[in-house]
Amino acid sequence: MGTARWEQRDGNSEMGTARQARPVKEPKDGHLRTQALGKLQKRREERTWSLPRLESPSVNPRQAPSQARATVRRIESAPTGLSQAGDPGMPTEPPIEALSAAEALAAAQEILPWVCEIRRDFHQHPELGLEEHRTSARVQALLREMGVEFETGFGGTGVLGLIPGSGQVSAERKADGQVPTVALRADLDALPIQDAKDVPYKSKIPGKMHACGHDVHTAILLGTARLLSGWRERFPGLVKLLFQPAEETVGGAKFLIAGGALENPKVEAVFGLHVDSELEVGRFAFHFGQRNASSDTVRLILNGRSCHAAYPAGGVDAIVMAAQVVSALQAVVSRNVDARDSAVVSFGTIHGGTQGNIMADRVELTGTVRILDTRIRQRVLQRIRETAEGIASALGGSAEVEIEPGYDALVNDDGMVKLVQENARVLVGQDSIVVRERPNMGVEDFAYYLNHAPGAFFSLGVRNEERGIVHGEHQEGFDVDEACMAYGVAIQVLNASRFLQLGR
Ligand SMILES: [Zn+2]
Ligand SMILES: [Zn+2]
């Protein structure tokens, strides 16, 4: 791995020579030369503005105002959630070089068939955490075809893509001496769930399924890469693309961080999205501050002494011990956590004993602890340990308490959430934006990136009740309305380009 150093240059921000993009190659016959792309090519030629072309990542003439209006009109007539893109309430667009929301969305819609094709390929070939070899190879092949440089080897399957912009660095950005750098993230892994959908693109791998939408995230990031690599002169600095393994299992974000993906140059902001089955397609949801809980796994072993169950005074009953420990641990939540804070202590397994008339000498429990406020995390874990040990000891036995730290709580940077929210507003209109007051107790390893750089993790609507797309994440019927991917691509293009141009 090892990232080479970048230096900020004056003027056109010619980036460090070690990392110049490779010469643009004509894509070979194969994946990209699809019928869909052929149609897109034809449509592109008919249009007055041009889509970033794979053949020429730096070609995209700026829109004249009349062309921009034509694009807005086209968006106004498009279905689902697009009607407000041309809202007269749209804020003043940044300087002339900045990408407009209308441009980004129109281009994202143009490449949607290509993005869908990629997503369906991933969907049919799901791979579990740290086994994403095929997926990683596809990502690398597509980046290569786009002329996007990348590094590999992060946790085995992680990929870091690099798209330097050639746009002018603003005076303010130049003053801080840092190469403007932003990171966008996708996760590659699937889940051990049998796909129960009846669709042509259902999983071909028994017992494995993209039931959390990571196929969608990866396809969106590839679509974003395609647009940004064709619009390099429209933004300064550097876009880093984080394709990480194992979000669902071991926190694959840590491999990219340990491999230096956020350094040299240092990432100043990081943006990630997650599909949301409760949110209609064409909508976005945001959390300011805390979005997800932390998680820790607890394993308790309660040791007693076996005897005939008819004569309990002759032993130490590990089952009675377990019953009291489980009840008492609920009091950790109700009596050691401030009523205004949130914590969950749940046990999912309990095993012990051999027969009804033999007193159990050992009971093992495993559970999970979810906490929103990082300040109380250590206190809750400490109270769990003390409570289990104290009760076991009082009953004449002993407790072994193992706590395996899980993911950190995910805390968004409010300034970055505002930036993304504003981009969403110009894309889909105020009425299609939801701000969620309450964080959720699920976990997400995007939290680790936020320990190193401010950023925002937000939700992308994928639900479509009319089409029966209503199943939740991690369910065997889970699917998305693929139109969501145009919004996902458009907003990430805007997040990256606008951050690089304007800073926070
Ligand atoms: Zn998941
Ligand atoms: Zn997920």
Residues with CB under 5 A from ligand 2 (ion): 212
pLDDT at 374 over 90: no
Contacts of 169 (CB under 8 A, 6+ apart): 8, 13, 180, 236, 237
Mean pLDDT of the region 176-197: 95
Q: Given this model, what pLDDT does residue 502 score?
A: 85
pLDDT at 78 over 50: no
Q: Which ligand is nearest to the CA of 273?
A: 2
| Domain residue spans of the chain | 104-291+410-502, 294-405
Break the chain down into helix, strand, coil percent, rounded to 5.
35, 20, 40
Mean pLDDT of the region 249-263: 97
Q: How much distance in Å is there from the Cα of 227 to the middle of ligand 1?
A: 27
Mean pLDDT of the region 254-266: 97
Q: Given this model, what pLDDT does residue 169 score?
A: 84
Structure tokens that stand for 234 in this block: 């429209």
Mean pLDDT of the region 143-147: 97
Q: Given this model, what pLDDT does residue 318 score?
A: 98
Q: Closest Cα partner for 272 from 448, 501, 143, 67?
A: 448
Q: Given this model, what pLDDT does residue 81 score?
A: 30
* CA dihedral of 381, 385, 386, 388, whole degrees rounded to 10: 130
| Cα-based angle 349, 351, 356 (whole degrees, multiple of 5) | 140
Q: Which ligand is nearest to the CA of 211?
A: 1
294-405 has the same fold as 104-291+410-502: no
Q: Given this model, what pLDDT does residue 176 score?
A: 77
Q: For 80-94, 151-165, 348-362, 422-436, which range has the lowest pLDDT when averaged over its residues?
A: 80-94
- This prediction's pTM: 0.78
70 or 475, which is more confident: 475
For 101-170, give the secondary structure using H, E and C.
HHHHHHHHHHCHHHHHHHHHHHHHCCCCCCCCHHHHHHHHHHHHHHCCEEEEEECCCEEEEEEECCCCCC
Q: Give the active site residue among 110, 268, 444, 482.
A: 482
157 or 172, which is more confident: 157
Q: How much distance in Å is there from the Cα of 299 to the middle of ligand 2?
A: 25
For residue 272, give the H/E element and its range: strand 269-280
Q: Give the active site residue among 201, 407, 449, 487.
A: 407
**What is the rounded distance in angstroms from the CA atom of residue 217 to the CA atom of residue 119?**
9
**What is the rounded distance in angstroms from the CA atom of residue 408 to the CA atom of residue 431?**
32
pLDDT at 48 over 90: no
Q: Closest Cα partner for 493 from 56, 147, 184?
A: 184
pLDDT at 410 over 80: yes
Q: How much distance in Å is there from the Cα of 229 to the middle of ligand 2?
A: 26
- Tens digit of each residue's pLDDT (9 = 90 or more) over 210-228: 999 999 999 999 999 999 9
pLDDT at 44 over 90: no
Check if 482 is active-site: yes
Q: Which ligand is nearest to the CA of 213?
A: 2
Q: How much distance in Å is there from the Cα of 210 to the middle of ligand 2?
A: 9
**What is the rounded distance in angstroms from the CA atom of residue 414 to the CA atom of residue 425?**
16
Q: Which ligand is nearest to the CA of 473?
A: 1
Q: Given this model, what pLDDT does residue 170 score?
A: 79
Q: Where are the beta strands (DSSP E) in 355-466?
A: 362-371, 398-405, 410-411, 433-435, 455-463
DSSP 98: S
Q: For 83-87, 123-127, 234-238, 327-331, which range has the lowest pLDDT when averaged over its residues?
A: 83-87
For the domain made up of 104-291+410-502, the CATH class stated in words is alpha beta
349 or 91, which is more confident: 349
Domain 294-405 of CATH type 3.30.70.360: yes
pLDDT mean across residues, the chain: 84
Contacts of 42 (CB under 8 A, 6+ apart): none
pLDDT at 63 over 90: no
Q: Given this model, what pLDDT does residue 97 score?
A: 62
Q: Given this model, what pLDDT does residue 42 score?
A: 42
Q: How much distance in Å is there from the Cα of 253 to the middle of ligand 2?
A: 13
Q: Given this model, what pLDDT does residue 173 score?
A: 75
Q: Given this model, what pLDDT does residue 3 score?
A: 38
Q: How much distance in Å is there from the Cα of 445 to the middle of ligand 2?
A: 9
Amino acid, single-letter form, for residue 141: A
Mean pLDDT of the region 247-270: 97
Q: Given this model, what pLDDT does residue 55 score?
A: 42
Are the C-beta atoms of residues 181 and 270 closer than 8 Å to each other?
Answer: no
pLDDT at 287 over 80: yes
Query: Which contacts of 468-475 are long-range, i.e. CB under 8 A and separated by 24 or more positions?
Result: 469/277, 470/277, 471/277, 472/277, 472/278, 473/211, 473/212, 473/213, 473/275, 473/277, 474/191, 474/193, 474/211, 474/212, 475/193, 475/211
Q: Given this model, what pLDDT does residue 87 score?
A: 42
pLDDT at 195 over 90: yes
Mean pLDDT of the region 121-141: 98
Q: Closest Cα partner for 121 from 467, 463, 482?
A: 482
List Cα–Cα distances, 291 to 172, 226, 317, 439, in angstroms.
31, 29, 42, 4
pLDDT at 295 over 80: yes
**Percent of the chain at pLDDT exceeding 90:** 74
Token pair 């647009």 in the structure block, residue? 227
Q: How much distance in Å is there from the Cα of 189 to the middle of ligand 1?
A: 9
